């Protein structure tokens, strides 16, 4: 059975028995538009999909590639190649607060191709090396495969990067899940952060190289008025599980494989919190810290899951 189209270029996968469903828009960067449990939305909608497409507004579940978060320079050597990011490029987002390039090149990308769409699975691919503006900015040809699988009340998202030329590809992608709990206020939300250390940041929100230890459970508790824009380069456990809960529902974001780093983002008065799975620390493309590479012909795979349970 094929997945149901809920709007032009949108595809929904679902488990009807669990009343759990997810919607994606392949032609706008494979963004996860919606995640619903018993009819209630679990991804912050902000100004909606159109605003995300037009101006990159805060919305739902975007994929950040070939880097997540910020990089400290607009031009830099990476391996044997030179990366040059144009500040006026329509595919490069400039963070106004820090004057850094942020969150990669694929926001609202129209180049994803759906490979398979079933009742509970959606697979799409993007040939990065086949898009001249992408490979000009980031000269590492590769293929990206995005697979979303839904079972019960859990959504698993798997990314595979395959090097397609004679050059190794650096791995620094991530996701930005804007999680929310409908019908309750963030002051009453409970969070659990399985983190071992946090990175000290400079005035541009970039890691200084110094870490501060975090005791187990130290940051667990009510979100209340707390704010976060915090890098956690060391996590606890083989499958770290970040939790957001209220009196009605518990959301768990689990780093299933390949994501050793997290950024947590919850600005002042926001009605969302992001537990951001990342394959490398912030600025790893330049610092080299924790940066992994896919050698020619090889693949790298990373997965995370978002699940919903009644409290």
Question: What digits encode the pLDDT tens for the residues 27-57?
Answer: 999 999 999 999 999 999 999 999 999 989 9
Res 3: pLDDT:
42
- If you count DSSP H runs as helices and E runs as strands, how many of each does the chain have, helices first? 3, 30
Res 9: pLDDT:
87
Q: Could you give the CA distance from residue 190 to residue 23 in angstroms, rounded to a whole number?
A: 26
Looking at residues 212-220, what average pLDDT do you find?
98
Looking at residues 7-30, what average pLDDT do you find?
93
Report angle CA 192, 225, 153 to the nearest 5 degrees.
40
pLDDT exceeds cutoff 70 at 6: no
Q: Which residues of 131-144 are buried (b: 16+ CB within 10 A; e: fewer)?
A: beebbebbbbbbbb
% of the chain exceeding 70 in pLDDT: 97
Question: What digits encode the pLDDT tens for the residues 173-196?
Answer: 999 999 999 999 999 999 999 999
Residue with tokens 């200084």: 208
| Torsion 206-210-216-219 (CA) sign | negative
Parent domain of 287:
4-310
Which runs of consecutive H residues, i.e. helices, occur in 10-169? Answer: 49-55, 132-137
Q: Could you give the CA distance from residue 68 to residue 277 in angstroms, rounded to a whole number?
A: 9
pLDDT exceeds cutoff 90 at 7: no
Tell me what the pLDDT averaged over the chain comes to.
96
pLDDT exceeds cutoff 80 at 303: yes
Res 5: pLDDT:
38
What one-character-per-residue DSSP string does 34-67 give? EEEETTEE-B--TT-HHHHHHH--S-SB-EEBS-
The pLDDT confidence band at residue 311, using thresholds 50, 70 and 90, is confident
Q: Are 222 and 189 in contact (CB under 8 A)?
A: yes
Residue 135: strand, helix, or coil: helix
Q: How many residues does the chain have?
A: 311
Looking at residues 9-22, what average pLDDT do you find?
96
Question: What digits encode the pLDDT tens for the residues 121-133?
Answer: 999 999 999 999 9
Question: What digits encode the pLDDT tens for the residues 231-288?
Answer: 999 999 999 999 999 999 999 999 999 999 999 999 999 999 999 999 999 999 999 9
Residue with tokens 């494979």: 30
Q: Any idea what the CATH number is for the domain that residue 12 is in?
A: 2.70.98.10
Res 98: pLDDT:
96
Q: Give the burial class of 80: count Cβ atoms within 10 A of its Cβ; 0-12 exposed, 13-18 middle, 19 or more buried.
A: exposed
Q: Could you give the CA distance from residue 192 to residue 202 in angstroms, rounded to a whole number?
A: 26
Q: Considering its fold, how many domains does the chain have in total?
A: 1
Res 57: pLDDT:
92
Q: Could you give the CA distance from residue 309 to residue 311 in angstroms, rounded to a whole number?
A: 6
pLDDT exceeds cutoff 70 at 297: yes
The pLDDT confidence band at residue 4, using thresholds 50, 70 and 90, is very low
Q: Give the burial class of 119: count Cβ atoms within 10 A of its Cβ; 0-12 exposed, 13-18 middle, 19 or more buried.
A: middle
The pLDDT confidence band at residue 1, using thresholds 50, 70 and 90, is very low
Q: Could you give the CA distance from residue 166 to residue 62 in angstroms, rounded to a whole number?
A: 29
Res 207: pLDDT:
97
- Spatial CA neighbour of 281 closest among 90, 38, 70: 70
């Amino acid at each position: 059975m094929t997945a149901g189209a809920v709007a032009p270029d949108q595809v929904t996968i679902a488990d009807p028995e669990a009343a759990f469903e997810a919607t994606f828009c392949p032609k706008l960067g494979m963004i996860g538009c919606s995640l619903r449990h018993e009819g209630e939305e679990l991804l912050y909608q902000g100004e909606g999909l159109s605003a995300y497409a037009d101006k990159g507004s805060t919305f739902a579940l975007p994929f950040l590639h070939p880097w997540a978060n910020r990089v400290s320079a607009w031009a830099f050597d990476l391996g044997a190649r030179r990366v040059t990011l144009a500040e006026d490029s329509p595919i490069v987002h400039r963070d106004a607060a820090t004057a850094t390039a942020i969150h990669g090149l694929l926001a609202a990308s129209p180049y994803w191709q759906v490979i398979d769409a079933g009742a509970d699975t959606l697979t799409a691919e993007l040939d990065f090396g086949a898009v001249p503006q992408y490979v000009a900015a980031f000269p590492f040809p590769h293929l990206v495969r995005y697979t979303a699988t839904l079972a019960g009340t859990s959504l698993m998202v798997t990314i595979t990067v395959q090097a397609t030329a004679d050059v190794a590809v650096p791995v620094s992608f991530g996701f930005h899940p804007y999680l929310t709990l409908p019908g309750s206020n963030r002051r009453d939300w409970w969070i659990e952060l399985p983190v071992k250390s946090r990175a000290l940041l400079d005035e541009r929100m970039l890691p200084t190289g110094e870490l501060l230890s975090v005791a187990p459970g130290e940051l667990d508790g009510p979100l209340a008025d707390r704010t976060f824009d915090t890098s956690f380069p060391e996590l606890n456990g083989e499958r770290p599980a970040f939790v957001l809960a209220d009196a009605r529902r518990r959301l768990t974001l689990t780093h299933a494989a390949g994501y050793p780093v997290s950024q947590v983002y919850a600005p002042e008065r926001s009605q969302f919190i992001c537990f951001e799975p990342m394959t490398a620390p912030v600025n790893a493309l330049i610092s080299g810290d924790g940066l992994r590479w896919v050698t020619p012909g090889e693949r790298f795979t990373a997965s995370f899951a978002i699940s919903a349970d009644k409290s």
